Amino acid sequence: MAKEFDVCVIGTGPGGYVAAIRAAQLGFKTAVVEKRFLGGVCLNIGCIPTKALLRSAEIFESIAHASDYGVDVKGYSANFEGMIKRSRNVANKMSRGVQFLMKANKIEVFEGTGIFKSSKELSVQNDDGKEQDTIKAKHFIVATGARARELPNLKIDGEMIISSEKAMQLEKQPKKMVIIGAGAIGVEFAYFYNTIGTEVTLVELMDSLVPVEDEEVGKELGKIYKKKGINVLTKSSVEKVEKKGKGVKVTIKTDDGNKEVEADVVLSAVGVTGNIENIGLEKAGVETEKGAIKVDRSTYKTSVDGIYAIGDVIGAPWLAHKATHEGVVLAEMLAGENPTPVNYDNIPGCTYCEPQIASVGYTEKQAKEEGYDVMVGKFPFSASGKATGLGHEEGFVKVVFDAKYGEWLGCHMIGSHVTELIAEAVVARDLETTGHEIINAVHPHPTMSEAVMEAVAEAYGEGVHLGSKPKKKK
């Protein structure tokens, strides 16, 4: 006999588990179905363990440059196995936290793969395809996330070509690695492996690294990475990967012709695609398009009444914090509340390499293409007392404003731990804060966050620390 619930969530990543908790808080009898591990990709093999690895790399890099700070350190080395172990411990701790939250909110957890038998009923099956339970629910929420996308000619085999999941759990540190794709995943692993001594070649099809970011940010990161010793190849593509001895031979097409690079392994980091297969969407009548479930993004309704979808499985942007907000909004709507909709124009993106990257809103190029007359301000961290004291003068904060109405169109940062600074721009844009309100708000000194105010002041011709000529007030 089928077990009945008000809400059943399929998948327990940052979107799914949060939607389940909020639904339970609002009085719904709630269940979740998870085929692998509570917390999904983000907590277990994505956001969290990679940040632990990146932190290890930062510590190692700091020790390597300790003499710059008057500290002598001898006899240090990168313990690759220890770094991986710490990363897994961090991930496991976070997953256990989700398990606690399920119990605390009286959410029933079903282990297995959720497959729709119809639009009203879900089968929970084990790895062998045997049905363990059936669930009926008034509301089904599909939050099955996404997985690494594969290039047609470069299939991920787990040996020659690996995904990010394997890259964060390798048994042995590779001496040489080729990374395909210089988006967030690619540049983060490039930083990690290069810092601890792996020879890294980073291949990107577009003109600059992190191509979704402002062009100046991508160019700045490219310069810094080349200085770090990373072999950066932009406007290039991997054509072929062949087995050679215990490693691989990689053929890379560049503007200067084909190049061959030998490596121990190739990491494919060319984006993600939604997990829409083998969960019975066709049988339920749910429509999909280009690797994602089609939804109305104001209600998260699919093409079938009573079935909703959130997170990576509905497409870009593939961000944990976006999925989380969607989960909260959907649960509150199901409860008859009137939540504030997710503002898809004001979702920040963060990349945790070193230097870090953070942004929200239009790039300068995008703003101009939309027809805005823009005011642009830029403040380099080389002019920041705090950044200089920290020994991290690389990078800048760049802001883009509409010259006519003063709307804050975009904010783009590259520098040490700037992911901790972007929230100011997100909140300010949400509140329709003016540039002068940012300038007039007293920012503490010395801090990295001052750079935001300084960049805004530069946009308005009121900066005092760069020698810029003041703009004449109309």
Looking at the annotation, which residues are catalytic? Answer: 445
Quote the CA–CA distance of 47 and 287 in Å, as a whole number. Answer: 29
Closest to 4 in 3D by CA, of 106, 108, 116? 108
Whether cis (ω within 30° of 0) applies to the bond prior to 317 is yes
**CB within 8 A of 450, min separation 6: which ones?**
384, 386, 443, 444
Rg from Cα positions in the chain: 24
Closest to 82 in 3D by CA, of 52, 62, 48? 52
Q: Give the amino acid at 73.
A: V
Spatial contact of 247 and 262, defined as CB atoms under 8 Å apart: yes
Compute how many other C-beta atoms are within 10 angstroms of the C-beta atom of residue 78.
18
Quote the CA–CA distance of 471 and 105 in Å, as a whole number. Answer: 57
Quote the CA–CA distance of 231 and 225 in Å, as a whole number. Answer: 8
**Any idea what DSSP says for residue 197?**
T
Question: How is residue 117 written in tokens?
Answer: 């038998």
**CB within 8 A of 338, min separation 6: which ones?**
332
Extract the runs of DSSP E, i.e. beta strands, from 26-66. Answer: 30-34
Extract the runs of DSSP E, i.e. beta strands, from 120-270. Answer: 121-125, 131-142, 146-148, 161-162, 176-180, 199-203, 231-233, 237-244, 247-254, 257-263, 265-268
Quote the CA–CA distance of 30 and 138 in Å, as a whole number. Answer: 10
Closest to 181 in 3D by CA, of 199, 169, 163? 163
CA dihedral 49, 50, 55, 61 (to 10 degrees): 140
Quote the CA–CA distance of 102 and 12 in Å, as a whole number. Answer: 10
Cα separation of the two ends of the chain: 75
Q: Token match 């990161």: residue?
A: 221
